[in-house]
Structure 1
Amino acid sequence: MSIGDLASRFGLATHVLRHWEDVGLLAPERDGGGRRRYGRDELVRVAIILRSQAAGMSLEQIGVLLDAEAPERHLVLEAHIADLDRRMTEMQRSREMTLHALSCRAHDVANCPGFKKGVQDMLDGDPSTLVQGLPATARRTAVLG
């Protein structure tokens, strides 16, 4: 299939596929005219890239994941599992706080003792570590103000 067909199938812009090729995630065949031709293998790779990005992996990590010869593959995957576990714990805490806020009778949940329990670990912790659990964009905002 053409680059346009593949991009369309996944709802991507063609420049995204070209970028992934530039960073080594894709290596499509070329036809006689030099046009990219994507087959089933590339289709699977794009699906893996998208699913991995949705799970929070960087393109660099995905490159290691897709490189069967990468010696650091298991280290990258173990670090990603640890990150997923940490984020799942944070999401569960956030869910519990949100459910509490929905049922809380306090007009100001920040003053609700039950709601405060959801952030007590942060209140008890080292202020320099409080932004580590945030996504990168939120960390930059929290640090930069």
Structure 2
Amino acid sequence: MRRAFTIVELTITICVLGVLSAIAMPWAGELLDRVHIRSAVVEIESTFSGARHIAIARSAQATVDIDTATRTLYVSVGADTLRKREVGADHGVQLSASRVRMSYSATGMGYGAANLSVFVRRNASVDTVFVSRLGRLRH
């Protein structure tokens, strides 16, 4: 006699898998949001750090401009745009900032009277990158 699963056993197994999948889906969506935000934060930190290094290497003022409408970061020295990072399009996140510009002097020190905060959002998940007046990064 051959042993096999009955239709009732298969139906119960499929129902249990369906319930477990329904429970896991919201958690997986939140995890995916956090992964996208984290990768965007790393790219933003890299952009600010790179601008600081460019200012030191060129002995010139480097500026990071944040365009929240297009969700893009620009690094420029004088009239030359050296880097363009489309963070929003690449990672599917929204950007907002307390200021739209951060400049670094030739010594790598930040210009400006206040700290800069960049808020990265995707659905209900949010993370923040802080840039101090001295140009140091923290997240």
Q: Please confirm whether the aligned pair reaches a TM-score higher than 0.5, indicating the same fold.
A: no
Structure with the higher fraction of residues in helix conformation: 1
Structure with the higher fraction of residues in strand conformation: 2
Higher relative contact order (CA 8 A, sep 6+): 2
TM-score tier after normalising by the smaller chain length: 0.3 to 0.5
